[in-house]
A and B are shown apart, each in its own frame.
Chain A
Amino acid sequence: MSAWEPVVGLEIHVELDTRTKMFCGCAVTKGDPPNTHTCPVCLAHPGALPVVNQRAVEYATRIALALECTVRPRNVFHRKNYFYPDLPKAYQISQFDEPLAVDGWFEYWVGEDKLRCRINRVHMEEDAAKLVHAGGEAGRIAGSDYSMVDFNRGGTPLIEIVGEPDIPSAEAAAEFLRQLRGLIVELGVSECNMEEGQVRWDANLSVRPAGGAELGTRTELKNMNSFRFLQQALEAERVRQIEVLEAGGAIDQETLHFDPDTGVTTPLRSKEEAHDYRYFPEPDLVPLVMDAAWVEEVRAGLPELPGARVERFMEQYVLSRGDALLLGSSGPLARFYEEVVAEGVDPKAAANWTMGEYLAHLNETGLEPGRGHVTPGRLAALVKLVQEGAVSATGGKQVFALMLEERGEPAAIVAKHGLAQVSDAGELEAVVQKVLDDNPSQVEQFRAGKEQLAGFFVGQVMKATRGRANPKLVNELVRDLLTR
């Protein structure tokens, strides 16, 4: 047991999938030619004024409520002032001391443990534009010849979720984010596309003597969007801090850069350390007064959330925590699973096939659950064939592979390829007898008391029937004929 324990806090930014931007009517898009979705407002032309996107407020409220936050009856936008070419007004409209929602929590699983992280606040703001650096090293500002600004992204609605430093490990931080992402996707407010940076986060870590009450000095890792790198970076930083402290040193509060190639965190040299954002209330917007009845309407419209669903799966389908997490965390996969069960399939068998063959198929093809031609109905039909003994377990896997190839119904594939399980005792007895006749020395050994050889005969029968024989029946027949 280590004498030190790490404490991790996360601040997460999520781009919302609203049709239009946070403060103007320009479309929120991905991949369109640069600067094709702009207007006086999101280009910050003189005289232009922001107007709050109501749908964005609704989406943000959904997130806040799903995180068990209190939606504040009145919330205020502030200006956060700083100069940068991706911020055309030279201030970001954000929220400061009167945010949308406060005081919530998020429960997530790490292995067998359910952990709770308190949520300090959820607030709304707008995204910056995208900078493109040309010339020099690809994409890097250092050494580039010039920079261009694409304002298509500028003004995209953004939610910031500020978590309390309640996360006990690097692994837990990664799990927290995976499960939080699942929650947000489930809410239908953002696809949380990782490659496109729809979800980004800042992480801070400190260490303290195990069981201690006070937090140590923290360091920060900014603007990350990979679960794996986050876990590696936090782990590296945990080790580094402990080394520093055990050598009698002190931790500097600073922002760090993590290099995934070397696995080392290094201080970020930045002139912008001591930013004074000079927050003040945005005078171009009136305070948002949140109607209590409307908030309740939004709450009533929330879907079943992944955390609750996992627990329901454990209870309703008697699944292990691991299986329930795997099947219940993502909405589309959970819905697929439940549709299979709804066809009258044993939940445990349905779970095994969904997590086994089906998930492997999704991983291989990159398909979303429910897409492709393996429908819940077809998978259910296959599982039923196996359970009824019409197809052996091994045969079932062959049928699944053929379903992918031939896009057909399992029963038809079984018939076409002669994969039906042979359960005809008369037909099998002849095969068993032939195996015994072909292996006289083994028969002798068996009769001399080497009973484990039964398995050998069963294997030979299965081989001879290309796996189609009902193994239980073969087992009985082998013993029967040998002891006759």
Chain B
Amino acid sequence: MTTGLDPLRLTAREARRLLVDGEVTAAELLTAYLDQIEAVEDAVHAYLQVTADNARRYATEIDSEMGAARGALAGLPTAIKDNMVTEGVVTTCASKILHNYQPIYTATAVKQLFGDHVVMLGKANMDEFAMGSSCENSGFGPTRNPWDLSTVPGGSSGGSAAAVAAGEALWALGSDTGGSIRQPAALCGVVGMKPTYGAVSRYGLVAFASSLDQIGPITRDVWDCALLLGHIVGRDPCDSTSIELPCAVELPTAERLDGLRFGIPGEYLAAGVEPGVRARFDETVVRIEELGGVCEEISLPHTEYALPAYYIIAPAEASANLARFDGVRYGYRAAPVDDLIDMYERTRGEGFGAEVKRRIMIGTYALSSGYYDAFYGQAQRVRTLVRRDFAEAFEAVDLVVSPTSPTVAFKLGSRTADPLAMYMSDVCTIPVNLAGLPAISIPCGLADGLPVGFQLIGPAFSENAILSAAHALEQAIGFDQVASFREAGR
């Protein structure tokens, strides 16, 4: 490689400097990533579609025509999770039911990035309709974790996280409904952030659970995370639930945590946290104190009810959100069929995967007349209690910290037969979505040779405080993000 670019190490901050200083062109930068995709994609399968031709054309345009009109992110190669619609570029949500779907518009967050002239590399793999924690629920084959190809990258934004970890993208957009950005970021050794609910427009994000879904960045480091976040936030007239952040996203510079109070919820460290994960977590807590922070134990007493509440609310919303995939207007339609009902049943029966069907059934049941109050109504009351837990905690501490995932990356196939074990992957991340709060996962070391994630949770709209603390901690941890690409031991 003539430019000497190393996609495994390059940050957006550095790439942008190289581009602005004219040391590399957008086309050269793109080529470095396309070469890396060429080299590792067969093994990793981070993408459902690599839009190389469009990307080359666009990078050339940026180099030759834009000049001073270049956007702030011009030429930065970006992966987009395949549940964000992109006009004219097939968007499937990793589902067979949308195998040929060409969107007629572009999601607001993606449009914002296009307005800043990022170069889209392609559409990243995911669990079908973002339902899963391992990327194994993709209708088009799983993504593998670049750190160990026999393990999963996490999910549902597994493709986005794996692409960044494997140097197949400079950075990526993911979406997080119950941990779908943070958990794969943790398992792949990269940074992932779920913003405050409403901070980023959901318009064009194919809905899984509308009251929980949120788009966010997956990046190599915290500074990049802030940069990308700053370009996707904002009130969108097309999303009634979106809201302007009270202040602009700042690029973090902090190296100390003096005076900051960190709460450690005992409930998050209860059964199920692997010893290796626990060890890295404890070391990171010590680092916080070394940096001047104060750590104390706190209680979030309703934590144990968060997971069951989530698995009522999210499927309930999903059962309605996914009802539009009926074969009438777009996407897959079974044929030949006997009549309308047969068409609906076969289209949906053949188009959706097992986990999606499971959740549609759970959700439909939970909303049924006679069961609504016992399930959906009760889950909403639990949600209020979870939110209150956090509100009370934030009266005593500035940020809450925990492991992002109780385990490191697990083997492909090891949990697919046991949905409950799979659901436990998100036990530390789900309460955050229920409460609508911002949280970040940063790598804090390895356990058994695989990355461990450290989660920082803040009050609503505390993105800057989270990014600032995460930045200081990241500097102190000094994690080496280069994935080892151990071959699958099959």
Interface residues of A (CB under 8 A from B): 40, 43-52, 79, 81, 83, 85, 88-91, 149, 276, 278-280, 283-286
Q: A48-B203, A88-B329 are in contact. Are A280 and B240 (CB under 8 A)?
A: no
Cβ contact within 8 Å between A90 and B324: yes
Q: A79-B320, A83-B326 are in contact. Are A284 and B240 (CB under 8 A)?
A: yes
Q: A49-B239, A51-B240 are in contact. Are A89 and B368 (CB under 8 A)?
A: no
By a CB distance below 8 angstroms, the chain A residues around B368 are 276, 278
Q: Which of B93, B105, B240, B323 contacts A45 (CB 8 A)?
A: B105
Q: B93: nearest residue on chain A (CB-CB)?
A: A46
Map CB proximity to A onto B306-338 as digits: 1 under 8 Å, 0 otherwise: 000000000011011001111011100000000
* Cα A81 to Cα B326 with chains together (Å): 13
Q: A40: nearest residue on chain B (CB-CB)?
A: B105
**Which residues from 329 to 386 on chain B have a C-beta closer than 8 Å to any C-beta of chain A?**
329-330, 340, 344, 364, 367-369, 372, 376
5 examples of A-B residue contacts, CB within 8 angstroms: A45-B104, A47-B83, A47-B204, A278-B369, A286-B241
By a CB distance below 8 angstroms, the chain B residues around A43 are 329
Known: A40-B104, A149-B329, A284-B239. 19 other contacts (CB 8 A): A44-B329, A45-B85, A45-B103, A45-B104, A46-B85, A46-B101, A46-B207, A49-B203, A49-B240, A51-B240, A81-B319, A83-B323, A83-B344, A90-B323, A90-B326, A278-B372, A280-B372, A283-B209, A284-B210
* Cα A279 to Cα B326 with chains together (Å): 19
By a CB distance below 8 angstroms, the chain A residues around B320 are 79, 81, 89-91, 278, 280
Cβ contact within 8 Å between A46 and B323: no
Q: A46-B91, A90-B320 are in contact. Are A283 and B211 (CB under 8 A)?
A: yes
A76 to chain B, nearest CB (A): 13
Q: Is the interface on chain B under 10, 10 to 19, 20 to 34, or 35 or more residues?
A: 35 or more
Cβ contact within 8 Å between B323 and A91: yes
By a CB distance below 8 angstroms, the chain A residues around B329 are 43-45, 88, 149
* Cα A79 to Cα B364 with chains together (Å): 13
* Cα A345 to Cα B379 with chains together (Å): 71
Q: Does B393 contact A (CB under 8 A)?
A: no
Q: A45-B330, A51-B238 are in contact. Are A283 and B317 (CB under 8 A)?
A: yes
Map CB proximity to A onto B453-484 as digits: 1 under 8 Å, 0 otherwise: 00000000000000000000000000000000
Cβ contact within 8 Å between A276 and B369: yes
By a CB distance below 8 angstroms, the chain A residues around B238 are 49, 51
* Cα A286 to Cα B239 with chains together (Å): 10
* Cα A49 to Cα B205 with chains together (Å): 9
* Cα A87 to Cα B286 with chains together (Å): 57
A-B pairs with lowest CB-CB distance, top 6: A90-B323, A283-B210, A278-B367, A283-B211, A47-B204, A46-B206
Main secondary structure of the interface of B (DSSP, over half): loop
Interface residues of B (CB under 8 A from A): 83-85, 91, 93, 98, 101, 103-105, 107, 202-207, 209-211, 237-241, 316-317, 319-320, 323-326, 328-330, 340, 344, 364, 367-369, 372, 376
Q: B369: nearest residue on chain A (CB-CB)?
A: A276
* Cα A48 to Cα B238 with chains together (Å): 8
B208 to chain A, nearest CB (A): 11
Cβ contact within 8 Å between A44 and B241: no
By a CB distance below 8 angstroms, the chain A residues around B107 are 47
By a CB distance below 8 angstroms, the chain B residues around A89 are 320, 323-324
* Cα A456 to Cα B476 with chains together (Å): 122
Cβ contact within 8 Å between B104 and A284: no
Q: A45-B85, A276-B368 are in contact. Are A286 and B240 (CB under 8 A)?
A: yes
* Cα A149 to Cα B205 with chains together (Å): 26
Cβ contact within 8 Å between A47 and B240: no
A88 to chain B, nearest CB (A): 6
B239 to chain A, nearest CB (A): 5
By a CB distance below 8 angstroms, the chain B residues around A47 are 83-85, 103, 107, 202-207
Q: Which of A49, A51, A52, A88 contacts B328 (CB 8 A)?
A: A88
B139 to chain A, nearest CB (A): 15
A247 to chain B, nearest CB (A): 35
Q: A46-B91, A47-B203, A88-B324 are in contact. Are A280 and B241 (CB under 8 A)?
A: no
A465 to chain B, nearest CB (A): 76
* Cα A269 to Cα B367 with chains together (Å): 27
* Cα A47 to Cα B376 with chains together (Å): 23
Q: A49-B240, A284-B210 are in contact. Are A44 and B376 (CB under 8 A)?
A: no
Q: B364: nearest residue on chain A (CB-CB)?
A: A278
Cβ contact within 8 Å between B364 and A85: no
Q: B106: nearest residue on chain A (CB-CB)?
A: A47
A65 to chain B, nearest CB (A): 25
Cβ contact within 8 Å between B324 and A44: yes
Cβ contact within 8 Å between A285 and B240: yes
Q: B325: nearest residue on chain A (CB-CB)?
A: A46
Q: A24: nearest residue on chain B (CB-CB)?
A: B238
Q: A44: nearest residue on chain B (CB-CB)?
A: B324
A132 to chain B, nearest CB (A): 14
Q: Which of B105, B323, B340, B344 contacts A81 (CB 8 A)?
A: B323
Cβ contact within 8 Å between A85 and B340: yes
* Cα A285 to Cα B317 with chains together (Å): 13
* Cα A52 to Cα B324 with chains together (Å): 20
Most B Cβ at <10 Å: residue of A44, A48, A149: A48
Cβ contact within 8 Å between B324 and A280: no
Cβ contact within 8 Å between B202 and A49: yes
By a CB distance below 8 angstroms, the chain A residues around B323 are 81, 83, 89-91
By a CB distance below 8 angstroms, the chain A residues around B204 are 47-48
* Cα A276 to Cα B368 with chains together (Å): 7
By a CB distance below 8 angstroms, the chain B residues around A91 are 320, 323
Q: A77: nearest residue on chain B (CB-CB)?
A: B240
B289 to chain A, nearest CB (A): 40
* Cα A411 to Cα B98 with chains together (Å): 76
* Cα A83 to Cα B327 with chains together (Å): 11
Most B Cβ at <10 Å: residue of A44, A46, A89, A276: A46
* Cα A283 to Cα B206 with chains together (Å): 14
Cβ contact within 8 Å between A280 and B239: no
* Cα A91 to Cα B240 with chains together (Å): 18
* Cα A203 to Cα B211 with chains together (Å): 37
Q: A91: nearest residue on chain B (CB-CB)?
A: B320
A281 to chain B, nearest CB (A): 9
By a CB distance below 8 angstroms, the chain B residues around A278 are 319-320, 364, 367-369, 372
* Cα A346 to Cα B376 with chains together (Å): 67
Q: B91: nearest residue on chain A (CB-CB)?
A: A46
* Cα A40 to Cα B106 with chains together (Å): 10
By a CB distance below 8 angstroms, the chain A residues around B93 are 46
B364 to chain A, nearest CB (A): 7
A293 to chain B, nearest CB (A): 22
* Cα A149 to Cα B85 with chains together (Å): 24
By a CB distance below 8 angstroms, the chain B residues around A280 are 316-317, 320, 367, 372, 376
By a CB distance below 8 angstroms, the chain A residues around B237 are 51
